[in-house]
Amino acid sequence: MSLPALIPGTASRKVEHVKVVLGTDVQFRKKTTMFEDVRLIPKGGTHSGDFAYTIDTNTDFLGRKIAAPIFVSGMTGGHDKVAKINMDIAGGVSEVGIPMGVGSQRAMMEHPELAYTYDVKKEHKDVILLGNIGASHAMVYSVKQIKEMLDKVDADFLCIHTNPGQEAAQVGGDIKYKGALKAISDVAENIDRKVIVKEVGNGISKEVAAMLAKTKVAGIDTGGAGGTNWIAVELYRAGGTRSMDIYRDWGLPTAGSLLEVKSAFDGFVTATGGIRTGVDIAKAIALGADACGLAYPVLKAQSRGGAKGVADYLRHIIMELKVEMARLNCKDINELRGVGYTTHGQLKHLLEQRVGRSLLQREPA
């Protein structure tokens, strides 16, 4: 495994991440999201004659109206070479009417002149924007500094990512997590935006969700296993200098994480990590997610077709969701939330041990 020479610094790391994710197979290998262990039960009745075209996917995202229960999960910013990626994603989501996140804004904290690489609203004012900072950086910066960081790009919400697995695998990663919960809690209590806590692919457990439930955090994004694998990305970047291969497939699968979080947290919950089809999205919504996040597939669509590629891809996945909703006889997202489901295999086994029987299945409403 060889990699071009590393460019030092937070900003350059963001360029490398994009290159590695697009150029190498760093998705989970054996582990899946476990959504394949969910079966949805169609409601009785017959399909609408107009099929998928009359199905309404509009929904609510923390008080904002959006066109479908989907958002683009935060990925990048912080270097001139990735500014266009954010702007293209903004162009795509603006056409479709769903929110987007930017990647960690740490680079603009360190170099304020890089703020423009995240500032997609200067061209796409209507975009609902999720700002982003790491939990370990929420410990370092004051609430006032974080608020200024969000103001500079007019972010509507703040995502705080917790990624101890990635940091542990990253050469020079920041593994000081003592005090992170208090920092998250302080920010959520004192900042003028709703805060979502997210993982990046190792999943949030019910124990973590229960701790967050005692804070003012408004939302949790599962960031579960089954999609992009950040331990794999960092091991690849380390070029064989890290002996952490045993952790290559570590993480709580997205479907399991979703139900664990739902068992312990009453707030807004989103499912991210390996969401790849409209069927995955329908299953996540039926299991209780308010929306689903996608990262890697959107990055791929952007690299191939710019803003148009992003918009086309998002329209395609929304159409897949509509077809699945038509199959299930659900005319809108509220009906999808009430659809019956059963769980099987590994997921059922996990849930029996972790959340008890109540979430294992649901009879159709």
Is the distance from CB of 99 to CB of 129 less than 8 angstroms?
A: yes
| Contact flag: residue 100 with ligand FMN (CB under 6 A) | no
| Contact flag: residue 228 with ligand FMN (CB under 6 A) | yes
* Phi, psi values for residue 60, rounded to 5°: -115, 140
Burial class (CB in 10 A: 0-12, 13-18, 19+), 45: exposed
How far is residue 33's CA from residue 84's CA, in Å, rounded to a whole number?
30
Q: How far is the CB of 228 from ligand FMN (least distance, A)?
A: 3
Chain Cα centroid distance, residue 225: 11
| Contact flag: residue 17 with ligand FMN (CB under 6 A) | yes
How far is residue 132's CA from residue 123's CA, in Å, rounded to a whole number?
20
Q: How far is the CB of 329 from ligand FMN (least distance, A)?
A: 28
For 225-276, the three-class secondary structure string (H helix, E strand, C coil) is ECCECHHHHHHHHCCCCCCCHHHCCCCCEHHHHHHHHHHHCCCEEEEECCCC
Inter-CA distances, 191 with 99, 103, 199, 221, Å: 20, 19, 20, 19
| Contact flag: residue 223 with ligand FMN (CB under 6 A) | yes
Closest by CA to 82, choosing from 64, 62, 60, 107, is 107
Question: How many residues bind ligand FMN, per CB under 6 A?
Answer: 26
Q: How far is the CB of 140 from ligand FMN (least distance, A)?
A: 16
Q: Which stretch binds ligand FMN (CB under 6 A): 46-54, 167-175, 223-231, 337-345?
A: 223-231
| Contact flag: residue 137 with ligand FMN (CB under 6 A) | no
* Phi, psi values for residue 42, rounded to 5°: -60, 140
How far is residue 267's CA from residue 259's CA, in Å, rounded to a whole number?
13
Nearer to ligand FMN, 132 or 170 (CB): 132
Q: Per CB under 6 A, which of residues 35..74 are in contact with ligand FMN?
A: 73-74
Q: Per CB under 6 A, which of residues 254..313 are in contact with ligand FMN?
A: 272-275, 294-296, 299
| Contact flag: residue 138 with ligand FMN (CB under 6 A) | no
List 193, 198, 262, 362, residue binding ligand FMN (CB under 6 A): 198
List 69, 92, 164, 227, residue binding ligand FMN (CB under 6 A): 227
List 13, 79, 124, 161, residue binding ligand FMN (CB under 6 A): 161
Q: How far is the CB of 158 from ligand FMN (least distance, A)?
A: 11
- Contacts with ligand FMN by CB under 6 A lie at 17-18, 21, 73-76, 103-104, 132, 159, 161, 198, 200-201, 223, 227-228, 272-275, 294-296, 299
